Amino acid sequence: MNNINFLFVTLFGIGRIKKIPGSFASLATTLFLFFLFHKLNIAPNTVLIFLIIIFFISLYAVNIFIKNLVNKDPKEVVIDEFIGQSIPICLYEIAHEGAKETHQVLTSYFIMFILFRIFDIVKPYPVSYYDKNFKNSFGVIMDDVCAGLYVVAVLVLYMVFTA
């Protein structure tokens, strides 16, 4: 059971990559979601439901993983990057359902990837609030959820001001 939990919270070992495991996890998530949405044609609402389930499972799984660790936000835990990076991509797919040009999708995904990494690294409030004040699975996951929501906010503002 511990091996399954390890594979889950490290996103099948991506978290064990020595340098920038969070960025690799975000990139893998972006590519995975592109494959789901644009190769397998999975409905965005289905993926969003799956993401919500992953969120709740992650609260438990990360808690088990960090239980006996001094560092309550170890770099190898990257399921939070999966969740945070998935939020703007799923909402983009829901908002732009239907046929899209591949280059348009790839450009949008790239922008969402870059923005998410910036917000996850810089940690503007309230991302920093969850990171600093919750030394548990909730804090580990919620800072990435907030970073993902910041990406959504930036994209919505961009659409409002360019429409």
- The Cα–Cα gap between 40 and 108 comes to 19
> What is the average per-residue pLDDT within 75-87?
97
Q: What is the largest CA-CA distance in the chain?
A: 51
Query: In terms of Cα–Cα distance, which of 50, 130, 134 is closest to 90?
Result: 50
Angle (CA) 43-139-62 rounded to 5° is 70
- pLDDT tens-digit readout, 38-71: 999 999 999 999 999 999 999 999 999 999 888 8
Query: Residue 52: which region, alpha, beta or left (left: phi > 0; alpha: psi -120 to 50)?
Result: alpha
- pLDDT tens-digit readout, 103-137: 999 999 999 999 999 999 999 998 889 988 998 99
pLDDT at 150: 97
pLDDT at residue 4 tops 90: yes
pLDDT at residue 97 tops 90: no
Q: What's the pTM?
A: 0.94
pLDDT at 26: 98
Tell me if 57 sits within 8 A of 8, measured CB to CB. yes
The number of distinct structural domains making up the chain is: 1
pLDDT at residue 31 tops 90: yes
pLDDT at 160: 92
> What is the average per-residue pLDDT within 86-113?
93
- Looking at every residue in the chain, the average pLDDT score rounds to 94
Q: Give the other-Cβ count within 10 Å of 11's Cβ.
A: 23
Tell me if 78 sits within 8 A of 8, measured CB to CB. no
pLDDT at residue 72 tops 90: no
Q: Which domain holds residue 18?
A: 2-162
